[in-house]
Amino acid sequence: MIEQPILLASHNQGKLAELRELFAQQQFSLRSYTTELPRLSFAPEGADYWQNAQHKADQVAQLTHLPVLGDDSGIELAAFPTEFGVYTARTLAQQPLPANKYLLARLQNVHDRQITVHSYLVLRVGTQILRAHGCLTAQVAVEEQGELSGGFDRLIYLPALGKTLAQLPAKAHAQYSHRGRAVADLVRQLY
């Protein structure tokens, strides 16, 4: 068993809340690294998800000597295969519209609405490094739906369930979401 709590190397409060809940479901405690350190500047996104997640985990772990979780995530749209990916956050930050509104506008009149969302997690405990990945392929809804979670979850539509991720209760959300799958992969490695 690892020392707890695990620190999350991220500034994204929505991501912190979601990961905290997912880790709590697995009997682990997660909190922001800012409970131990002042806010840090993480390097701009690199060329791949693993590199980005590990850089964040390494930076915080070197300063705290505590278990640290670094993450990176992104979307891939089948209709626009060369856009987004590892640069999702940077691409969306440059748009004049909020992320969900931008995606809906970008996909207006586009037939192929397939989306794949990825979550890459790197847990650093001392010199040990564990890596986990989770992904979900679904459809982009034609409008935002659901209030049980936020962000892209309101657009990620699961045809087999007839619901978006934001319409799923916590247990089902953890089973289907990219982050839920990544956390499950990581927890399997811890036991």
Per-residue pLDDT of the chain (191 residues), as tens digits, is 577 799 999 998 989 999 999 999 999 999 999 999 999 998 777 789 999 999 999 999 999 999 999 999 999 999 999 999 999 988 999 999 999 999 999 999 999 999 999 999 999 999 999 999 999 999 999 999 999 998 999 999 999 999 999 999 999 999 999 999 999 999 999 88
In our burial notation (b when 16+ CB lie closer than 10 A, e otherwise), range 19-58 reads bbbbbeeeebebebbbeeeeeeeeeebeeebbbbbbbbbb
Q: Structure pTM?
A: 0.93
Please tell us whether the domain made up of 6-190 is placed in CATH 3.40.640.10: no
The torsion angle over the Cα atoms of residues 101, 105, 108 and 114, rounded to 10 degrees, is -60
- Which sequence spans correspond to the domains of the chain? 6-190
Rounded Cα–Cα distance for residues 139 and 159 (Å): 7
pLDDT computed for residue 1 by the predictor? 59
Residues marked as catalytic: 72
